Chain A
Amino acid sequence: MHDLLPYIVGLMCLFGSFFVLVAAIGVLRLNDLYMRMHAASKAGTLGSGVLLLAIAVFVQDASVVWRALAGVLFFLLTAPISAHLLARAAYIVGYQPCDLTTQDAIADAAPSLREQRNS
């Protein structure tokens, strides 16, 4: 098991940094704010969470493992909240999705949301 430890940590580092790179390329290449948000909040959270778990596996101290797990749980809780708030604010202010978007589920509710904002 101890011989395998550097290999596991190295592969976890490669995995996490690969997903962070995927998130960055998605943020650069996708068409629209709402599409870019998918790449940033899913792949980015997975990548940095795996990197935090890699340091927990590397150190193998109980306090570090628990703190890393708490950090991963915190990131998993907060990433959707911040992405949702940013998308909601951008939609209410009036940034339209691009032409590739086929469904707009809150198009009916948008005028009342904007009135709430302006009042």
Chain B
Amino acid sequence: MTGEMFLNGCLIVSISVLLIAMAVIIVRIVRGPTLPDRILGLDTLVTVSIGVIAVFGIITGFPIYVDIAIALGLVGFLSTIALANFLLRCGDDTLTRRDHNAPARRQDNA
């Protein structure tokens, strides 16, 4: 078994594992009982996409994919901050369903 064959097998296995991870995270985003769960799922999806882009860079041999991964990381960071700010300003019961595993939300006068 040569190194090329080993590398090809590893790349196929790792990109399959990354796609499975993406599917698992999409299940969480669809199911996710509350709004911050969905925001966290989108953030994790960006992280997995960076990994997929890096593996694509190894498969195709184009090192330009590193720049694309860095740009995607920047966009993901900014979008997570923006969504957290949105949650802080207008996250309430009209936008989110209650988490059935967690205890009921704190009662306050807001």
Contacts and interface: CB of A to CB of B under 8 A. Distances in A.
Judged by DSSP, the binding face of B is helix
Contacts, number: 202
A25 B20 CA distance: 10
A89 B22 CA distance: 25
Contact of A36 (B37, B63, B66): B37
Chain B's interface size range is: 35 or more
B47 A33 contact: no
A33 B102 CA distance: 10
B72 to A, nearest CB: 10
Judged by DSSP, the binding face of A is helix
Nearest to B21: A24
Interface in A39-76: 40, 44-45, 47-48, 51-52, 54-56, 58-59, 61, 64, 67-68, 70-71, 74-75
Nearest to A32: B102
A80 to B, nearest CB: 11
Given A23-B21, A85-B81, A33 B40 contact: yes
